[in-house]
Structure 1
Amino acid sequence: MNGEVSPSFDRVITRALISIGEHLGLRVVAEGVETERQLELLQALGCRYAQGWLCDQPTAAEKILSACQSPMDSSKDARQESL
């Protein structure tokens, strides 16, 4: 379609995909989220999970494995900080 799709059409398709995933009992993850505006729009459409440059930059596998293998400090907040 080479960029000829209207923003409202994009929203309808995105919302439909989110709805299909929810009805199938899946966690829908939006990939490639780069801006706050994209995240806000996805949240408004009902998407609860996102990944992309806005969330964090790509991380080496070794760093992820190291973080997963390290014991968590139970005195801190249970949320994992960004790698």
Structure 2
Amino acid sequence: MSKKNPITISSWTLGDKCIFEQRCKAAAEAGYDGIGLRAETYVDALNEGLTDKDIIDILNKYNITCTEVEYIVQWCEEPRSYEQKYK
């Protein structure tokens, strides 16, 4: 990252239908320095079969960093869904 104030693309800007590498590629091609990452986005990447190392390698491939960790919703809500418990 060469900018003093990096520009981050929110995780919701790219929706929830693209795989992790597509997300990084789109952000890089649009001129962003970093991506926002939600717990769901991370779990989706793991479900794609990616490891933490794979995720870092993809970020590096596109010269993108994770510059924002986004909110977690329904943290204390009962009953919690499976997805919420997994977080």
TM-score between the two structures when normalised by the length of structure 2:
0.28
Richer in strand (by share)? 2
